[in-house]
């Protein structure tokens, strides 16, 4: 079985980080979780007990420069983890959870241990929204997938999150610089950052985020709620198969090592078999 670490950098996001620690701790072991708080004005949450959690001096004050600095730092930390004997390192934001399709009946560690990965591996991205009129506020006390059943298949979240050697991630883990990507079968990155209206309102009211220039980005990405509310939900298995093929062969003209999908906005309903996994 491979030795696998997962790392993240977080700021003012304890709601999702709590679930992140719970999920990856169960799948990979808390001792293999590496959490960096961005800014010495923060303190390590009690629920991080048993992980490797550190407070780091704040990286940047504007969103673009801060993201570049953040991913450069995390790429360096990943390289250090390889030197400590890890076989794989996963990079994931606090609101991102990489899961194996439950139909396989294997854990994340078992799945990745069986994969032959040269440089990096990408799960297929699913960007969750809130279906207004059907789904209520997101609660930390229940599984997320029992509360949120609709997601847009999103190229932004098909990321080379899993790496097998030191390399340099681009901003947001969206690419590995100088390398192509490979999308794994039956592996998904579930993004919940824009899956709740109240949480979004809180982020828009966060003076720290606004000062860094996140307001426009949050407004733009919050469209996922409108998409899952208004668009017809498609069959999950059929359209995720299509998306893997499409994203493998289609690339944006400005970045050959990122996936594209003709700007299609496909919403799928998550099958019942996922309900208890996260």
Quick: pLDDT tens for 127-186: 999 999 999 999 999 999 999 999 999 899 999 999 999 999 999 999 999 999 999 999
What pLDDT is stored for residue 219 in this prediction? Answer: 59
**Full-model pTM:** 0.94
Quick: pLDDT tens for 184-200: 999 999 999 999 999 88
Number of domains in the chain: 1
Quick: pLDDT tens for 211-259: 565 556 555 667 999 999 999 999 999 999 999 999 999 998 888 899 9
Gap between the Cα atoms of 218 and 201, Å rounded: 10
- Number of alpha carbons in the 13 Å side-chain half-sphere of residue 6: 24
Q: CATH number for the domain including 172?
A: 3.90.550
> What region, left, alpha or beta, does residue 78 occupy, with left being phi > 0 and alpha being psi -120 to 50 degrees?
alpha
Confidence of residue 207 (pLDDT cuts 50, 70, 90): low
Quick: pLDDT tens for 50-67: 999 999 999 866 666 788
List the domain range (segments joined by +) for residue 98: 4-274
Return the exposure string of 204-242: e unless at least 16 CB atoms fall within 10 Å of the residue's CB, then b.
Answer: eebeebeebebeeebeebbebbebbbeeebeebeebbeb
In the chain the beta strands, taken as DSSP E runs, fall at 4-10, 33-38, 52-56, 88-91, 96-100, 120-128, 150-153, 162-163, 183-191, 267-269
What pLDDT is stored for residue 67 in this prediction? Answer: 85
Gap between the Cα atoms of 7 and 36, Å rounded: 8
Gap between the Cα atoms of 28 and 162, Å rounded: 13
What value does the CA radius of gyration of the chain take, rounded to a whole number of Å? 18
């Amino acid at each position: 079985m491979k030795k696998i670490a997962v790392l993240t950098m977080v700021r003012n996001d304890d709601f999702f980080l709590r679930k992140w620690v719970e999920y990856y701790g169960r799948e990979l072991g808390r001792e293999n979780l590496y959490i960096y708080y961005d800014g010495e004005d923060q303190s390590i949450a009690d629920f991080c007990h048993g992980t490797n959690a550190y407070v780091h001096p704040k990286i940047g004050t504007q969103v673009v420069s801060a993201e570049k600095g953040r991913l450069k730092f995390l790429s360096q930390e990943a390289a250090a983890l390889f030197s400590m004997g890890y076989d794989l390192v996963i990079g994931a934001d606090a609101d991102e959870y990489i899961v194996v399709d439950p139909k396989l009946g294997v854990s994340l560690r078992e799945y990745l241990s069986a994969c032959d990965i040269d440089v990096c591996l990408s799960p297929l991205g699913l960007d969750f929204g809130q279906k207004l009129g059907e789904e209520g506020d997101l609660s930390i006390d229940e599984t997320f997938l029992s509360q949120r059943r609709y997601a847009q298949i999103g190229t932004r979240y098909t990321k080379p999150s899993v790496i097998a050697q030191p390399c340099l991630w681009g901003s947001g883990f969206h690419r590995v610089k100088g390398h192509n990507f490979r999308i794994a079968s039956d592996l998904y990155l579930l993004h919940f950052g824009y899956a709740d209206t109240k949480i979004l309102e809180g982020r828009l009211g966060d003076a720290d985020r606004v000062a860094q220039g996140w307001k426009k980005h949050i407004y733009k990405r919050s469209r996922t709620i409108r998409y899952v509310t208004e668009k017809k939900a498609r069959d999950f298995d059929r359209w995720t198969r299509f998306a893997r093929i499409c994203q493998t062969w289609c690339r944006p003209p400005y970045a050959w090592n990122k996936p594209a999908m003709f700007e299609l906005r496909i919403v799928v309903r998550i099958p019942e078999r996922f309900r208890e996994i996260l």
